[in-house]
Amino acid sequence: MTLSSMLSARATFGSNLVAMPTPMNPDSSLDEAGISAVAKHLVDGGCDGIVVAGTTGEAPTLDNVELLRVLELVRASAGPDTRLVVGVGTNHTAKSVATAREVAAAGADALLVVTPYYSKPSQAGVIAHCTAIADATELPVMLYDIPGRTGLALTYETLIELSEHPRILAVKDAKGDLFEMMSLLAETGLQYYCGLDELNLPYLAAGAAGVVSVMGVVGADRNRALINAIDASDLTAARAINDAVRPLTAALMRTAPGVVTAKAALHETGVIAHTSVRAPLLPATEAETSVVRAALVADGQLLNA
């Protein structure tokens, strides 16, 4: 890993990214006012990149017309300087290629490509899939390694091979193998982004270029402070920031699916009007909401009612 390669990744994707939920109305239609409000809220909170239509954005339930409308609304509210990384990965290569071309034409800054899920192709198939998507546009690509959801990890050897593609530049890692990350940073040009909020501190300390955060929907300012502390080699400050935000992270990441708790948090803080999600997800229960609410109260974002 070199400083120049990290700075290049940050210029391309940002450093303080948030996985943005897609606000929905109770009838499951897009909440366009909510989408605009969340995008503005995230930028105001200090994020410099937004992942649109990732897992937290309920990508599997969005058709391409909706995806392009979400991208349009986020761009209008986030402004031209916020990097928009758009999820295009599916388990259907041709569909992913077509979607990549559509979002590129609509103004995406980069693509997020998740490992093909359910089908469980060979690693050679994964390489062919990712390469086809990367070849479809001129946009930079961030791979998304999340075997807990896809049932299929990117192996070390696969990541080595994919790193040779000129547009595959980064990995959003939700696998949690820090040693693999450090080895690949040392041996390839790939840059890493932490995709597990519980591990933001160790990933950044080990050389990750940034984070792609769910907790950042209500804590982007703390993620920014954490990144700044690590950049300044101030581990004492970084540990203090991490410890302070740990209860909020636990509430959002360990209570219910991240999109469910993220929408609950955004609703509790008045950013969105509804906690609606699309089936098969269900909105936060009162018990789940109470956990999120208590964490927001403890964090000073809500008055203790």
Residue pLDDT, tens place only, 60-90: 999 999 999 999 999 999 999 999 999 999 9
Query: How many Å is the maximal CA-CA distance in the chain?
Result: 55
pLDDT of residue 1: 64
Residue 2 has pLDDT above 90, yes or no: no
Encode pLDDT of 7-57 as tens digits.
Answer: 999 999 999 999 999 999 999 999 999 999 999 999 999 999 999 999 999
Contact 177, 194 (CB under 8 A): no
Quote the pTM value. Answer: 0.97
Q: What are phi and psi of 244, to 5 degrees?
A: -65, -35
pLDDT of residue 303: 82
Residues 6+ apart with CB under 8 A from 77: 35, 36, 37, 39, 40, 43
Q: What is the pLDDT of residue 305?
A: 55
pLDDT value at position 252? 98
Q: How confident is the model at residue 108 (pLDDT cuts 50, 70, 90)?
A: very high
Active centre residues (catalytic):
144, 172
At residue 4, the pLDDT reads: 83
pLDDT higher for 3 or 34?
Answer: 34
Give the CATH fold of the 3-238 domain: TIM Barrel (3.20.20)
- The predicted pLDDT at position 151 comes to 95
Q: What is the pLDDT of residues 184-241, one digit of tens each?
A: 999 999 999 999 999 999 999 999 999 999 999 999 999 999 999 999 999 999 999 9
Domain boundaries, the chain: 3-238
Phi and psi at residue 34, to the nearest 5°: -65, -40
